[in-house]
Amino acid sequence: MKALNGKIVVITGGAAGIGREMALAFAREEACLVLLDIDPDQLDATVAELTRNKAAAKGYRCDVSNPEEVGRVAAKILEEFEHVDVLVNNAGIVIGKPAAEVSYEELRRIVDINALGVMWMTRQFLGKMMTRNSGHIVNIASASGLLGVPRQTDYCATKFAVVGYSDALRMEMKKYGCRGVKISCICPSVIDTGMFAGFTPPLLNPLLKPADVACKIVRTVKREKDYLKIPFMVKMIPFFKVLPPSWVDWMVALTGTNNAMDHFVGRRSEVG
């Protein structure tokens, strides 16, 4: 099991929600936290909370959808810390509209944050990780990156992208002899942070507690696991999908997943 004490851990969308909970969980492992978030006030508050609890923490305001800003912030981090041990790509948004009602601007924004933001942020630190043959990329995807959900077409598309990116990146590290660079893809069902306010949990998929999920993510990093899929029913999705699509659609409808987003209101447009 990998020790995390003294390791440099960067978390995007680290000021609130599951990002904040992960920061607290990594802090308990005595890691050095570097939090990135688009909300400077919330970021300052979370960093202050960590430092009050005697954790080493620093925050940088960063919009992960802005490639120039990502590059500048990443350069500052590498200048101060020389390298990053763990990068957690957590920042993301959800829109929650039927596909026919989503604007181009909304599509562009969700792709820039949820998909391109993950890839471009990873690009900033991956080269040095490969040179050192040491590091860990943690991509926060979703159960919606494994199975389509009505009123989440754009969100599912970006999370499917994160799952595919993680799989390809893991295989690429092995191909180029960088087995010391680990890739973990995190696929939880909906976490009760407020981001999915109004969401009705499907059968056998209750809302997950943020602190519990954060602890499981840290454990995944320490054990260097490729995937975390929670709860148990999410682990079963790949097996369901060997069935004919009409059967899968019937099973999804049976669990109530088709109606899960009917009363969605969300929390805010940005979480990172």
**What pLDDT score does 135 carry?**
98
**What pLDDT score does 270 carry?**
44
How many of the other CB atoms lie within 10 Å of CB of 177?
10
Give the model confidence (pLDDT) of 262-271 as tens digits: 999 986 444 4
3-class secondary-structure state, position 216: helix
Order of all β-strands in the sheet with 8-12: 57-61, 32-37, 8-12, 86-89, 135-140, 181-188, 227-230
**What pLDDT score does 269 carry?**
41
Catalytic site positions: 155
Q: What is the CATH number of domain 8-259?
A: 3.40.50.720
Q: Predicted confidence band at 1 (pLDDT cuts at 50, 70, 90)?
A: low
Helical residues (DSSP H) of the chain, grouped into ranges: 17-28, 40-52, 67-81, 104-111, 117-132, 153-175, 210-222, 232-240, 245-254
Q: Predicted confidence band at 272 (pLDDT cuts at 50, 70, 90)?
A: very low
Give the model confidence (pLDDT) of 160-172 as tens digits: 999 999 999 999 9
CA end-to-end span of the chain, whole Å? Answer: 30
Supply φ then ψ for residue 36, to 5 degrees: -115, 140
Supply the pTM of this predicted model. Answer: 0.95
Q: Would you say 4 and 32 are in contact if contact means Cβ atoms under 8 Å apart? A: no
Could you give the CA distance from residue 62 to residue 72 in angstroms, rounded to a whole number?
Answer: 9
Across the range 64-87, mean pLDDT stands at 97
**What pLDDT score does 61 carry?**
98
Question: Among residues of the chain, what percentage have pLDDT more than 70?
Answer: 97
Could you give the CA distance from residue 45 to residue 25 in angstroms, rounded to a whole number?
Answer: 17
Q: Would you say 139 and 247 are in contact if contact means Cβ atoms under 8 Å apart? A: no
214 pLDDT more than 70 = yes
Weakest mean pLDDT among 73-77, 160-164, 175-179, 253-257: 253-257
Across the range 185-195, mean pLDDT stands at 96
Q: Would you say 165 and 237 are in contact if contact means Cβ atoms under 8 Å apart? A: no
178 pLDDT more than 90 = yes
Q: Would you say 9 and 32 are in contact if contact means Cβ atoms under 8 Å apart? A: yes
**What pLDDT score does 205 carry?**
87
**What pLDDT score does 2 carry?**
86
Distances (CA, A) of 262 to 119, 176, 222, 229, 233: 31, 46, 38, 24, 21
Could you give the CA distance from residue 156 to residue 145 in angstroms, rounded to a whole number?
Answer: 5
3 pLDDT more than 70 = yes
Give the distance, in angstroms, between the CA of residue 186 and the centroid of all CA atoms in the same chain: 7
Could you give the CA distance from residue 20 to residue 271 in angstroms, rounded to a whole number?
Answer: 11
Give the model confidence (pLDDT) of 91-129 as tens digits: 999 999 999 999 999 999 999 999 999 999 999 999 999
More confident site: 231 or 205: 231
